[in-house]
Amino acid sequence: MSLWEERAARNEALFREVNEEIREVDRRFGGVVTSEFVCECANDQCVERVPVPRDLYIAVRSEPRRFIVAPGHEASELETVVERHDRFFVVEKQGPAGLTAERLDPSGD
């Protein structure tokens, strides 16, 4: 795995941790159907927010290799788009990036 691929995977894992915090806050307030999550792309400068229905976000998070990104933020050398929605895509990491995503997934502890 290249240094860039490792850094990208770590950035995505960090964004995923931020989104888990957003999900927890929304859960505490109850009644939230759609949340504004941070794009989980490889770009560490990205600050784009994507509205994702809570149930769909939970389904994506059940797969440690899957991430939510804004359209156009997918990195074809690291991942495959597995779902396309109007305001976000679901991508799945492949190869070494996928293994890193699994290793860094906090739910796998």
Please say whether the beta carbons of 67 and 80 come within 8 A: no
Candidates 57, 62, 64, 61; CA nearest to 101 is 64
pLDDT at 26: 79
pLDDT at 101: 84
**How many whole angstroms separate alpha carbon 109 and alpha carbon 13?**
14
pLDDT at 109: 46
Structure tokens at 6: 């490792």
Q: Which residue has the tokens 């305001």?
A: 87
Per-10-residue mean pLDDT of the chain, 109 residues long, equals 74 82 81 86 90 92 94 92 96 88 74
